[in-house]
Chains A and B, each alone.
Chain A
Amino acid sequence: EPEVTQTPSHQVTQMGQEVILRCVPISNHLYFYWYRQILGQKVEFLVSFYNNEISEKSEIFDDQFSVERPDGSNFTLKIRSTKLEDSAMYFCASRGAGQGNTEAFFGQGTRLTVV
């Protein structure tokens, strides 16, 4: 069964360092998302991406964040200068095209720990 895959599963980084989280969405999907979940809190939307551009972003997604689809398969989230409060699980999700296609499928997540 097709699935969204994320790497790495766990990343530890020093405050101020750049990190890149990687995702391979389901192959025929066209909408891609990043969400995050701080420990013990709800899943929060960061950004959506369609047709090679950001279609929507939340207040969390400030200038320190960027997304890219460098090739036909990968979808990446970059955090330029990590802060302690960026520590969270980061989930990638993808969705198919079409008005009736409402289901988003999530990856297993990357646990980011900023020390």
Chain B
Amino acid sequence: TQLLEQSPQFLSIQEGENLTVYCNSSSVFSSLQWYRQEPGEGPVLLVTVVTGGEVKKLKRLTFQFGDARKDSSLHITAAQTGDTGLYLCAGQDTGRRALTFGSGTRLQVQP
């Protein structure tokens, strides 16, 4: 069974600070996706990383896929209150189409 561990589980920071969220596994994934989920709503796709070592930027968000395709990180620069939410990583195994989700990191950005 593939598992994705996210850390930290909870993060409360001040507006303007930087933060990094980690997503780790002992398994190799063919791709990894980051989602953001608001309470009572479905996950909204932020980015997909496919190649080991790949770095993708989405405004103040930087996503990295580990060289071995077992881990990933999300770095937010100069956090804003609008970044508050639950961030989920989800990996796709080469042989499966289904996603394995991490448990999520709940981010609270204080004004």
| Size bracket, chain A contacts | 20 to 34
Interface residues in B, total, Cβ within 8 A = 24
> Can you list 10 pairs linking A and B with CB atoms under 8 Å apart?
A33-B97, A33-B98, A48-B97, A55-B97, A102-B48, A102-B50, A104-B99, A106-B35, A106-B43, A106-B44
Chain A positions within 8 Å of B101 at CB level:
35, 42-45
B102 touches A42 (CB 8 A): yes
Contact with B along A3-20 (1 / 0, CB 8 A): 010100000000000000
Please name all residues of chain A whose beta carbon is closer than 8 Å to the beta carbon of B102 when the two chains form the complex.
42
A91 touches B48 (CB 8 A): no
Stretch at the interface among A65-73, A79-87, A107-115: A107-115
Are B98 and A91 neighbours in the complex by a CB distance under 8 Å?
no
A102 → chain B closest CB, angstroms? 4
B39 to A: closest C-beta gap in Å: 10
Is A105's CB under 8 angstroms from B45's CB? yes
Please state if B100 and A111 are interface contacts (CB–CB under 8 Å): no
Chain A residues with CB under 8 Å of B50's CB are: 102
Q: Please tell me if the beta carbons of B103 and A102 are within 8 angstroms of each other in the complex.
A: no
> Is the CB–CB distance between B98 and A45 below 8 Å?
yes
B84 at the interface (CB under 8 A from A): no
**Do B42 and A107 touch across chains, with their CB atoms under 8 A apart?**
yes
